[in-house]
Chains A and B, each alone.
Chain A
Amino acid sequence: MSHKIVSKSKLSENVFTAEIEASLIAQAGKPGQFVVISINSEYSERIPLTIADADPEKGTIRLIWQRVGKTTAELADMKAGEKIANVVGPLGKPTHLKNFGTVVCVGGGIGNAPLLPIAKALKKAGNKIISILGARSKDLLILEDEFTPISNELIVTTDDGSYGRKALVTEPLKELCQRDQKPDQAFVIGPAIMMKYCCEVTKQFNVPTQVSLNTIMVDATGMCGGCRVEIEGKPKFVCVDGPEFDGHKVNFDLMMKRLDAYKDQEKKAYEQYKKHRCKIGLA
């Protein structure tokens, strides 16, 4: 049972989105959940990707990914009409949705993708949404248009100042926390280092903060434990205990080291792939 890519497009230089057939997942998926895909069954690795959106009637889900290594590059090179061999899910616990009051949603880079369905659902649950979207530069900012209609307030930052405010997301986040009416809840999704610093800010102001972690996974059903992170010093599995955790309790430093566990091998595999693409004249 393979999954057809219905449509595919580019959101920025290295970020891609595709709508793929996966009717059962489209029906069952809830905000905060993810899928694991592998392109073919023999040799492909299994990687977790967030369900950015789902259309239960059409039977499709939307995936957004950044080209960072071999598998994500291979996926980026696929075209509409082609098929992905394995898509399994929905995985992980759904976001705990309720009316917190004012929620600040902070997205960094590719993190805007998993943040979007959560922000939408929070809006629907009656929350006032303040979105802070960060990117290194204008070209790398994704999904601004989709955050606009659901945000009561939208702040865009870029590291180089090429668009929006020249700042890291932590700056406007801190300012929000300093307001008389500080946010009741924060949701922060992005690179580990960004989540770490955002959590340091919100902790200072006692703003409860949920983060969604994207660690290395194999089965993603709790069986391997490769995704484990330290929460208050205790091991927790991102795939079954998460992916969302209380950001103030996460050991981000260790998580970042674990994310780099296969850095050299991943780099080698990516280089090999690029070389191969060149050779056959596709790149």
Chain B
Amino acid sequence: MTEKERQQLLKKQKTGELKPADRYKIPPQDMPEQDPVERTSNVNEVATGYTETHARLEAMRCLQCKNAPCIEGCPVQIRIQDFIAAIADGDFKKALVIIRENSLLPAVCGRVCPQEVQCQQKCTVGLKFKDVGKAVSIGRLERFAADIDQNEGGAPAVAPETGIKVAIIGSGPGGIVAAADTRKAGHDVTIFEAFHKPGGVMVYGIPEFRLPKAIVQKEIDVLTKMGVKIVCNFIVGRTRTIEQLMKEDGFEAVYIGVGAGLPRFMGIEGESLVGVYSANEYLTRANLMKAYDFGKGADTPIALSKKVAVIGGGNVTMDSARTALRLGAEKVYLVYRRTEKEMPARIEEVHHAKEEGIEFHILQSPKRIIGDQNSHVTAIECLKYRLGELDESGRCRPIPIEGSEFQLDVDTVIIAIGNIANPLIRQTTPGLQFNKWGNIIVDENCKTSLQGVYAGGDIVLGAATVILAMGQGRIAAAAINKYLEKKPKSHKKPG
């Protein structure tokens, strides 16, 4: 597109003369990325973000549908067409104000939400071209609006103090939303975090090259500006129990957003050998503990791997594989027992992983892990699989092919096949009800079996995404605010 054409579009946008036909003609704007070869030797962000030129062009592709189907696809109901209109008009600040009404984490969500199955899946432009890849890039625009305003970060308004104490357990995405929404209602909100830094999966799990930690911190700073207290190194269930928080410490409502919990292993021979990691451990060492700087300041080591097998097919699998490359592995295999079509990972992540040289081994799964006399991993023995009938997950069931064993030489194995619920809250909270998988049972308002106690995110859903956890945090916070409004006033009025 020539500069002249672009200027004409902007002029039409300004005067309100931009027609759908004009909008359809604007090509989808790609986001600049670091070169695939270059980026595997650094931990900097892969996608470098839209420029103003990209952003305004992309925003003008939005048809401004009256019914805004995109909003239905958003778990936190951001006024998408309005913030996009503001970007098209060049009013980036207004765009961010609109987003912040419903989400405190635009820089995060713009990067890690699976927009292709949410807002962008519903986008009329994408439907028109029969290609979700040609939908308006809502996520990239959200990220643009957040990034361009990083230093201003005005905090949302807070209602007059109620003096009612609300405890939020876990500072991940769900906890952040629940904290923000209950704080907006004027409550005295404290977040309790087990780690030494807030952010949950956004700081320990999702890698720097996909979500820079400084960006997460800036979004969390907005919470602090709102007056939310954050207490780190506090393990609810150990340091204090929920019962103590409510009966002795004066908290009148609690939101449990403790996240996934224990890593799932496969139950195969050799899983405790040296060099076998859960994805949780591998990513925590690499991200939160900054093992990529070991010997250059950071104290936490990580395996110096040459050949790595990562087991699984989700986003965490891709993150682990790509992290291993950046830590210097020469060869990284991704071993998945179904096919690429069934992978739960985002298409974009699969694409990035392949582009960086991760070798995909589909329809394969390890049968055992083999070690040497020092108990160090030397290989995995895999079985080949074929796909069978649909199973309860709606995907084709993988069926092992008998006698198809073969070995893959590796020195490191990362198991990224999901998590099971952490039992800590269950063991220390009498009366709280759990399902047979150890997940907390909640109603449609995220209310648990205990009065004043709400829960959401992975500890309820089993495995979710950042945005689904945020959606639950929002539902729970609304229910908490309502509950506290009706609750007889046992608290002291603020002096």
Contacts and interface: CB of A to CB of B under 8 A. Distances in A.
A128 interface: no
Contact of B289 (A28, A45, A237): A45
Interface stretch (A60-68, A170-178, A192-200, A266-274): A266-274
A222 B424 contact: yes
B11 interface: no
A88 B233 contact: yes
Given A262-B301, A269-B301, A224 B422 contact: no
A91 B300 contact: no
A206 interface: no
* Chain B residues touching A, majority SS: loop
Interface residues of B, number: 48
Contacts of A272: 295
Contacts of B281: 218, 224-226
B197 A223 contact: no
A137 interface: no
Contacts, number: 130
Interface residues on chain A, size class: 35 or more
* Chain A residues touching B, majority SS: mixed
B295 A268 contact: yes
B272 A237 contact: no
A230 B272 contact: yes
Given A222-B262, A223-B261, A269-B301, A89 B239 contact: yes
Interface string A70-114: 110000000000000111111100000000000000000000000
B263 interface: yes
A204 B194 CA distance: 42
A88 B424 CA distance: 15
B293 A43 contact: yes
Interface string A7-26: 00000000000000000110
Contact of A24 (B240, B271, B295): B240
B423 interface: yes
Interface string A234-266: 010100100000000001011001101110011
B298 interface: yes
| Best-buried of B195, B272, B303 by chain A (most CB within 10 Å) | B272
Interface string A209-243: 00000000011011111101110000101001000
Interface in B351-388: 374-376
A253 B303 CA distance: 20
B39 interface: no
B423 A24 contact: no
Interface of B: 194-197, 204, 231-235, 238-240, 259-263, 265, 271-275, 277-278, 280-281, 284-285, 289-290, 293-295, 297-301, 303-304, 374-376, 422-424
Interface of A: 1, 24-25, 28, 38, 41-46, 70-71, 85-91, 218-219, 221-226, 228-230, 235, 237, 240, 251, 253-254, 257-258, 260-262, 265-266, 268-269, 272
The list of the 6 closest CB pairs from A to B, nearest first, reads A224-B281, A257-B375, A45-B299, A265-B301, A88-B233, A86-B196
